[in-house]
Amino acid sequence: MANEILLKEGTKITWASTDFSPTDSNLSGDYLLTLTDLADSAARQGAKCDFGVGRAARYAVMCRFEMNVAPAAGQAIDVYWAASSSGTAANDNAGGTTGTDIAYKAGDEAEWVKQLSLIGSLIVTADADTIIQTAIINDQWTPPTRYGMPVVLNSTGQPFEGEVSGEAVEMCVSFQPIIDEIQ
């Protein structure tokens, strides 16, 4: 009898705010990334993660973003990866990242993201407020190192949803391990 190679879903790794509470997904926040009120042309970096010694070879990367004001359709939210060979937050990080949830290179984002790896872009629709824009931005992403963190760059012309509305708690960047399993 021949063996089959099937895909198995591993445990998702998600970056979100401390009050992350999506009403329509099965995600939970593993690492901190506060996207509340992220302004146009601004970027935010998440906390450094450890994919583990035996990490998956591929991940599907899904994002959930919510805009405060409807942007023009077709604008982009870019998600980058800052690789690191160190598990310590401030050590050996690509693109000047810190390994913590903080604004990324305020005023110089466009220059610094060139030292990062682009994971993918979520192309927005002209919707805001209660519409959570969700997309898989890369269905076969491979982490180049064991450690690293995402950087989200808002290039939509409008800010992300804010703390006042309480809707920002549903925004995240999530990595779904894709594991080959021989059966």
Of 32-46, 55-69, 162-176, least confident by mean pLDDT is 162-176
How many domains in the chain? 1
What is the per-residue burial (b if ≥16 Cβ within 10 Å, else e) of 90-103?
eeebbbebbbebee
Of 12-16, 18-22, 53-57, least confident by mean pLDDT is 18-22
Q: Say if residue 182's pLDDT is above 90.
A: no
Indicate the burial class of 123 (C-beta count within 10 angstroms; 0-12, 13-18, 19 or more): middle
Task: Specify the 3-state DSSP secondary structure of 170.
Answer: helix
Indicate which CATH number applies to the domain containing 171.
2.60.120
Domain that holds residue 122: 5-182
Q: What pLDDT is attached to residue 89? A: 97
More confident residue, 31 or 8: 31
Q: What pLDDT is attached to residue 162? A: 81
* Tokens matching residue 17: 């705010």
**CA angle (62 as vertex; 61, 65 as ends), nearest 5:** 140
